[in-house]
Amino acid sequence: MRVEITNRCSEKYSLLLRLYCGMLAFVALCASVSLTLWNMKEAAAAAGTFCAVMCALLAVIPFWFGSIRYIRSGGNLQVERGMFFRRTLIINRSDIRCSEIRSGPLQRRLGVCTVVFFTGGKTVRLRGISMGDGRLLNRALCEGAAA
């Protein structure tokens, strides 16, 4: 019998990324205004363009990270990524050498983490998972690999 646990990227992680982009957009807007006051029109235009890009990212982030899907089934973990073109990655329990759970100060405050799996050929990072789900996922995949 196959049991699947499906999780999506945490809404709190999207909020954290929005805060980062908003902060960068605010800094770029302030730089653009100050450069305009100093009569540096070309540099002000570049800072304004950067501000516009950061504001565009504020709108795209929830859709992008809302499209990441994690499915744990038996001894495998299936990760589906991509907003327009779906990419599927399957990690077998036997391929995992070690893993760790990482979280910065803001991530800890929001209760999200990044689970990193080290396999023979690559490093797989699963970002935006709630702390409890990250611990369960880490325990389920890595304890089975050691056994």
Handedness of CA 49, 54, 58, 63 (dihedral sign): positive
**pLDDT, one tens digit for every residue, the chain (147 residues):** 343 445 666 777 777 777 877 887 888 788 877 777 777 878 878 888 888 887 777 777 766 666 677 777 777 888 887 777 778 888 888 888 888 999 989 888 888 888 898 988 888 888 888 888 888 888 877 765 444
